[in-house]
Amino acid sequence: MSESHIEVTSELMERYIALTAAAREKATPLCPPNSDGGKHLETMMEMADSYTSDAKWFAEKGDLVRAFGAINYAHAWIDCAVKIGLMDGHGDDEMFTLP
């Protein structure tokens, strides 16, 4: 199968959900919870968690295209928090876009 014809499968979704869960666990906050940065980070992680939940729901319903979109949004929220310096990606340039 060529790269331009990859299908969104249940297995692919499981892989991306696991990758996003690993990113959520690996990245650690760099600012105190009650600071402005901490409040922004809390909102960003709520968004990541909500999109992850949506992805799982869509996948359970068999809507793998929407599930794939949602899990990529979830990972993007985490990646963004690392990129702008609210979280530490611990040097993992495969999981995150490092600053």
Domains in the chain and their CATH numbers? 8-88 (1.20.1270.90)
* Predicted pLDDT at 27: 98
**Reported pTM:** 0.91
Q: pLDDT tens across 62-97, in order?
A: 999 999 999 999 999 999 999 999 999 999 999 999
Read off the tokens for 8. Answer: 């969104």
φ/ψ (deg, to 5) at 41: -60, -40
* Predicted pLDDT at 6: 82
87 strand-pairing partners: 29
Confidence band of 30 (pLDDT split at 50, 70, 90)? very high
Confidence band of 99 (pLDDT split at 50, 70, 90)? confident
